[in-house]
Structure 1
Amino acid sequence: MEKTLKSLSRFSASLCAALIAVLVALASGNAYAGRSCTAAKLSPQAIERSLTLAQQTASALENTYEKDGTRVVLLARAGQDLTRYQQTWSHVAWAYRLPTGGWQVVHKLNDCGSDRSMLMRHGLGEFFLDDLWRHQAAWHTVPKAWEEALWSLLQNNTRVVAMHEPRYSMVSYAWGTRYQQSNQWAAETLALAAEPGMLSRQQAQGWLRLKDYKPAILEIRALTRLGGRATAANIAFDDHPNAQRFANQIETVTADSMLAWLERLAPGGQGRTGL
């Protein structure tokens, strides 16, 4: 069975209250989006900037809720520098408004640089409490026809894990099922919310194709692939078709491609915050 989702306190509008959650996270957190647990500790300045970004984002999402009732968005952060791959954002989560108020995220995280992953619930403060490449965030709404179903699914600990594959690769093939990376889980979970009768990841991917989702194609050369596979347990390329792999074309689900797809489906639903 899947691990029970870990529930953490949602981000508070008060910076002092948020600092308490930060101390807990620093003491017990052990999962990162494709990063090692031995990463350097954050400086007080980085913590302050992350919490400020979380406050800005919470305020902006609440304004969106008050304006049109939006209760779910795809939320992206810039945890790594991916500019060499023409990508702006590195990781997405589903952010949803709690029935009691405030916003929480559910997302898939790599377990300390291993080949395994887990799903976790975090407040916005902890979501941004990372060694961010840029202290900026982006989000996009989903089509209204799917929003209520997605909002309900994200709060259901049984259904939210239905599309989760624990075997992890940071560059998993967008149309494969051997591995699954964080953004891929988010896309396939939206498919499940839109079509609740789905029973497999293959069906979810078929729905994504039908809805014209287009993965990113990253140019990753052979030496880079060999180095990554040899030194990192959370990177694998053996699920990609040989023709694409040998042509250095790695087709994977990126945060940028998901945001662009949602903009095509629900134009004008984007937002940004940042320092």
Structure 2
Amino acid sequence: MKPLRALALGLLLAAGAAQASSSRFCDRTQELTAAEQDRLLRFAAVLREELASSEESVALVSRSGLDLSRFNIRYSHAALAWRSDDGLWAARQLYYACDEGRPRIYDQGLAGFAMGTDSPKIGYLSIVRLPPQAVLALRPALLDTSRALHLLAAQYSANAYAYGLRYQNCNQWLVEMLAAGWGDLADGDDLRERAQGWLREAGYAPQPVDVGSRWWLLASYFVPLVHLNDHPEQDRAALQLQVSLPTTVEDFVRARFPQSERVELCHDEQRIVIHRGWTPVADGCIPAGGDRVLSLRD
């Protein structure tokens, strides 16, 4: 096969594979076996117990959704968990509504949040417990429907530029919500712009994602939910994209509120591991000394 034809075929196959997986950005769920559903429901129960053990009513929660291991990224999706006056927890988040073709703000039960994973065989959850002063400033903004919607962009991009207004991903909406609450920003049509200004002044600086290959940049021309036209030219040339991810949000929260506490949960097909502290649990959900282990064989 001639080199140019081989190149064209390679791009076509890569684009087709990327489009086939693009629905994982959406609000659709995969079919689970009874055993997989039971495993994830038990995993969600541990998440619920950990949140309930805190006296505070808002926490940052993240999950391993899309498989981004090729970029050394464990967590792809973050939400703000909040407790109602009745003691029920929900995860408020941005999600992409496939049927409508637009992003939405959605309150989801913890079971549904835990089940939004690429692999039911192994999964990770991260909880960051916020100190009282952080919750006190954030909760009114989080539960203000008008401000939550004014922070919502009209167009979604999974790899949205962290300081762009054209697109937005789920983690970008979340960190802009933190800005609205902690900056005590008034409602208004320009709320996103003011939130990003506050974040810049507060030192929010996402660690650039090393794309590693121009083939991934080329794929953006074929995948509906991935874009590059909002990223600065120098970032594209360097293959370094500034994208808001759960880890960058966690780092920002920790720097602003050092009293915050982190708990990481993971499961495989045999056990659930509860790991406390800011160091990550080992890949493969391998427990370390001091970790709590719950059997899934019971």
Common fold: TM-score over 0.5: yes
Contact preservation (8 Å) 1:33, 1:182: no
- Shift of the 110–229 alpha-carbon distance from structure 1 to 2, 3 Å rule, reads farther
Cα displacement string for residues 4-57 of structure 1 (whole angstroms, at most 9, x for unaligned residues): xxxxxxxxxxxxxxxxxxxxxxxxxxxx761474x6422222222221111101
Shift of 1:113: 8.8
Partner of 1:13: none
Partner of 2:35: 45
- Shift of the 36–190 alpha-carbon distance from structure 1 to 2, 3 Å rule, reads closer
Give the letter aligned to residue 52 of structure 1: R
The partner residue of 1:59 within 49, 71, 88 is 49
Contact preservation (8 Å) 1:33, 1:108: no
Q: Work out the CA distance in 2 between the residues paired with 1:234 and 1:218.
A: 17
Is the partner of 2:54 in helix, strand or coil? helix
1:135 aligns to 2:127 (yes or no): no
Partner of 1:257: 248
Partner of 2:210: 219
Q: Which structure 2 residue ranges, 5 or more long, are not aligned?
A: 1-22, 268-298
Partner of 1:146: 134
Partner of 1:273: 265
Instruction: Tell me whether 131-140 or 54-63 shows the greater mean CA deviation.
Output: 131-140
Instruction: Kindly report which structure 2 residues correspond to 1:135-214, keeping only aligned pairs within 5 A, or say none.
Output: 135-198=123-186, 199-214=190-205
Give the letter aligned to residue 211 of structure 1: A
Contact preservation (8 Å) 1:222, 1:246: no
Contact preservation (8 Å) 2:155, 2:167: yes
The partner residue of 1:120 within 82, 89, 106 is 106
- Shift of the 218–206 alpha-carbon distance from structure 1 to 2, 3 Å rule, reads same
1:239 aligns to 2:230 (yes or no): yes
Determine which structure has more spread, i.e. the larger CA radius of gyration: 2
Contact preservation (8 Å) 2:90, 2:110: yes
Give the letter aligned to residue 241 of structure 1: P
Partner of 2:88: 102
Instruction: Kindly report which structure 2 residues correspond to 1:15-30, keeping only aligned pairs within 5 A, or say none.
Output: none
Shift of 1:74: 0.8
- Shift of the 211–33 alpha-carbon distance from structure 1 to 2, 3 Å rule, reads farther
Partner of 1:248: 239
Is the partner of 1:95 in helix, strand or coil? strand
* Higher RCO (CA < 8 A, seq sep 6+): 1
Is the partner of 2:86 in helix, strand or coil? coil
Contact preservation (8 Å) 1:76, 1:93: yes
Q: Which structure 1 residue ranges, 5 or more long, are not aligned?
A: 1-31
Contact preservation (8 Å) 2:60, 2:127: yes
Give the letter aligned to residue 194 of structure 2: Q
1:111 aligns to 2:102 (yes or no): no
- Shift of the 142–40 alpha-carbon distance from structure 1 to 2, 3 Å rule, reads closer
Q: Work out the CA distance in 1 between the residues paired with 2:51 and 2:30.
A: 30
Cα displacement string for residues 219-263 of structure 1 (whole angstroms, at most 9, x for unaligned residues): 223221212331x21110100011111221111100111112212
Is the partner of 2:144 in helix, strand or coil? coil
Contact preservation (8 Å) 2:26, 2:95: no
- Shift of the 249–115 alpha-carbon distance from structure 1 to 2, 3 Å rule, reads farther
- Shift of the 184–248 alpha-carbon distance from structure 1 to 2, 3 Å rule, reads same
Give the letter aligned to residue 272 of structure 1: E
Q: Work out the CA distance in 2 between the residues paired with 1:40 and 1:126.
A: 12
> Percent identity of the aligned residues?
25
Q: Work out the CA distance in 1 between the residues paired with 2:144 and 2:83.
A: 14
Give the letter aligned to residue 60 of structure 1: E
Is the partner of 1:171 in helix, strand or coil? coil
Partner of 1:25: none
